[in-house]
Chain A
Amino acid sequence: MILAGVDFRLRRGERVAILGPSGTGKSTLVQHLYQRLKSEAALCAQSQGLVEGLSLYHNIYMGALARHNSVYNLFNLLYPFKKNRLEVTELCRQLELDSPLATQVGRLSGGQRQRVALGRALYQEQPVFIGDEPFSALDPAMGQRLLELVFSRHATVVMVLHDKQLALNNFDRILGLKAGRVAFDLPSAEVDAAMLAEFYTGMEAPPRITPHDPLPLHG
C-alpha cells in the first residue's frame, strides 16, 4: 500500500524521526520504505515476530540468517557456534539484557522482548536501520541509551517514535504524519515543543459533550 499524500526522500547518513497520532499510516510508510531498501536495511517492526519457544540467543541470531548458508544456520539451531555466541553475548550486554542466552523468549517481560527484537535487527549489521517504535516499552533513559547504540552501528536511521522529546533531541529531521499526509517535514532545529503540541491536539474538532451525555471516563 502506498500512502497517497506522502513524498518522502531519504538521504544517506540522515537520521529521520517520524511522528504522528495513531492510525495515520506511520507503520505503512515504514514498511514501504523497508520494501524499497530491503537489501541494505534492517527492520525492527512493531510486530516483533519473536519465536516463543526459542531461546534468546536464537531469536537474536535470526538477524544473521542472510549472512550464512542454510547448513550453517541449521547447525546453529542445534548447537550455537562459539563465534556467534560471543557476538550475541556482547550485543546482549549493550542491550542491557542480563538473562542467560538460553532463556526462552516466552519467559521474558515486555521490555526484554522488545530489546530482543531490537537485538535481532542490530545483528543484521546493515547500513540502514528502520525502526517502528522500537523503545515503546522501555523507560526514557534506557530508550536514550539504546538509541545511541543504534546510532553507533548505523549511518542512516529512520524511526517511528512516540516520545517527542527523544525525537527532538536526537534526530536531524522530523517528519510529521497526519491522516496519511505529510503535515510537516523539517530539520529538527526548526521544530519546537509548542509546535508539536499543536500538531497532536489540533487535528480533530474538540469532542462535543452535551449535558445529557455521560462523561467520558478516560477522555
Chain B
Amino acid sequence: MFAKTVVSKAVPYALGYWQKMTIGLWLLACGCFMLADTEVIALEPWSELGHMLLGVLQPDFFATEYLLEALWQTVSFALLGVCAGLLWGAPLALVYHKPWVAAFCAFIRAIHEIFWALLFLQLFGLSPVTGILAIALPFGATFARVFHDIISLAPADTGQNLPAGTDMLSRYVFGRIVHVSGQLQAYIRYRFECALRSSAVLGFVGMPTLGFYLESAFKQGQYHQGGALLILFVLLIGSISYWCRARLLPLYLLLALVFLPELPAIDGHLIWRFLSQDIWPPMLQGVSHLEQLDLQRLNALGSWLFTLLEKQALPGIFATLILALVALAMTHVLTLLWLPLVSRKLRGKWTVFGGKAMLLVLRSLPEYLLAFVLMLLLGPSMLPAMLALALHNAALLIFLTTRQSDKLVVSAQFSPKLDNYFYEILPRLYPGVMALLFYRFEVILRETAIFGMLGIATLGFYIDSQFVEIRFAGALVLMCFTAMMNIGVDALGRKILKGQKVPLLGC
C-alpha cells in the first residue's frame, strides 16, 4: 500500500531569528549609508602612500632615541592602568546586579579613554596619573560588567555541596570563582592587549606613549621612523603571549612603578579652580550664593544648553550613530567573507598563516591610524572611518571566532568547499559571531570618538573642539550626552539579544 502522493501547497517560509536579524541589519545600514557623507574625493595620494610604504619596508630603528622609552611607557601605562582598573572593577562585579551599580559602570565605560585623558589633563597636567587614570576608569567599569557576566555563568552545584556554615567569601571563591578562573585570566590578558592599544592612542592627546611619536612622525613625513614605530607596536602586541607571563607580572609591575616618570606636584589650587570655576557654564561662573541665581542667568543657561543640544549634541549623535551602524554592517559582511579564508577546515597551513598574520596587523593597529591612511586615499569623509572600524573589528572578530571554529568536528561528508563551510560550520558559529558583533557595537560607538580628532563630525569632534576652545562645561555636557547615548544603545542591544546566550569575550 502506498500513501497517496500529496502535492503540498506552498507554505510561506517563516524566516528564522538570525535571518531576520541579518536582513534587518543590512537594510538599516543601507539606509544609514544613504544619509552619510561618503563622497570619495580622489586626491592623487600615490606619492605620499609610496613614501609611507617605503617607510614601513625600510624602517629606521635608530632615528630616535625615544623609541625604547616610548615603548616602555606604553607598556607601563597599560599595565598600571589595567591593575588599577582591576582593583576597583573586580570587587564591583560582586554587586553588579544592583541597577545603580550597572548604570554607574555603564556611564564610566561609555566615555572614551581619550576624553578621560583630556579631562584629567586639566587636573593633573601631563602626569602619568592622567594616563593611568584614563585607562583605569573605563577598564575597571568593563571588568565589573564582564566579570559579573562570567561569574554568573559558573555552575551552581559546587556551592550546593559546600559544607553548611562556610563563610560568604570562601563560599563565593570556592563555589564560583574557581570554576571560571581560567576564563577570567584569559579575559584579563585580552584586556591587557586592548590597554596597550589605548595606551598608544593616548599619545595622540600628548601622553608620552607610542602614539605621540607615531603621530609626530607621520605628520612630519618621517615615514622611516614612523614605520619603525608601527612595526615595533605590532610585534609588541603579536608577542604578548611570549613576554606576558603570570610569573613575570609582579616584576613588570615593580619596574613600571619604579621607572614611572616623575610625578609633577599636584597643584591643589589649580584643581580647586577647575572644579569651582572652569567646569561651570560661563553664566554661572562667579556665582557663589544661590540668591545670585536670578531669572536672567537661568534664561542664559537654558538658551546655552539649548544651543549646545541643537547645534552640537543632536547632529553629533546623529552622525555617530550613522557611522557606527554602517561600520557594524561592514564589519559583519567583512567577517563573513573573510572567515572562510583563514579556516583550517578549508585552507592549507600557509594560507591560514598568512591570513592570520594580516589579521594580527589589522587588529594591532589603532583604528585612528588606519583611518588616517585611508583618508589620504579616499579624501575627508565618513568612508575612511567606516572602513577603518570595519577592518579593525572584523579582524578581531575573526581572531576570536577562528579559535572556536578550528575545534569544531565536521561530518564525514565534509569537503573543503565554500558550500560546506556555509552549511556546516557557519551556522554553528553564527550565534556567537552575531553576539560578539553586537557586543562590539558598544565599542564601535566609543571608538567613533577618536575619529572626531581627524575632523569627522561625530560627538567626539564636538567634545574635542570644546576642549580646544577651553569650554569645559560644554565638553562635560557633551560627554554626558555621549554616555547616555551609549547606555541607551546598550539597553536596546540587550533587549534585542534577550534570550540569546552571549559569549563573553569582547572588548
Residues of A within 8 A of B (CB): 38-39, 41-43, 45, 47-54, 58, 62-66, 68-70, 73-74, 77, 117, 120, 124, 126
Contacts and interface: CB of A to CB of B under 8 A. Distances in A.
Contact of A74 (B163, B165, B171, B173): B173
Interface stretch (B54-62, B152-160, B422-430): B152-160
Contact of B163 (A42, A50, A69): A42
A210 B456 CA distance: 78
Contacts of A51: 158, 174, 178-179
B171 A47 contact: no
Contacts of A53: 178-179, 181-182
B162 interface: yes
A74 B170 contact: yes
A74 B169 contact: yes
A38 B174 CA distance: 19
Contacts of A48: 157, 161
B5 interface: no
B248 interface: no
Contacts of A69: 167
B157 A49 contact: yes
A58 B165 CA distance: 18
Nearest to A74: B173
A73 B164 contact: no
Interface residues of B, number: 22
B296 interface: no
A45 B169 CA distance: 23
Contacts of A47: 157, 160-161
B166 A49 contact: no
A66 B160 contact: no
Given A65-B166, A69-B167, A73-B170, A45 B182 contact: no
12 contacts: A45-B157, A45-B161, A49-B155, A49-B160, A53-B179, A62-B161, A65-B174, A66-B166, A70-B167, A70-B168, A77-B173, A77-B178
A38 B165 CA distance: 9
A53 B164 CA distance: 23
Contact of A49 (B158, B167, B170, B171): B158
Nearest to A64: B163
Contact of B164 (A38, A49, A74): A38
A65 B158 contact: no
Nearest to B181: A53
Contacts of A54: 178
Closest 8 CB pairs of A and B: A49-B161, A49-B157, A70-B169, A66-B165, A49-B158, A38-B164, A66-B163, A65-B166
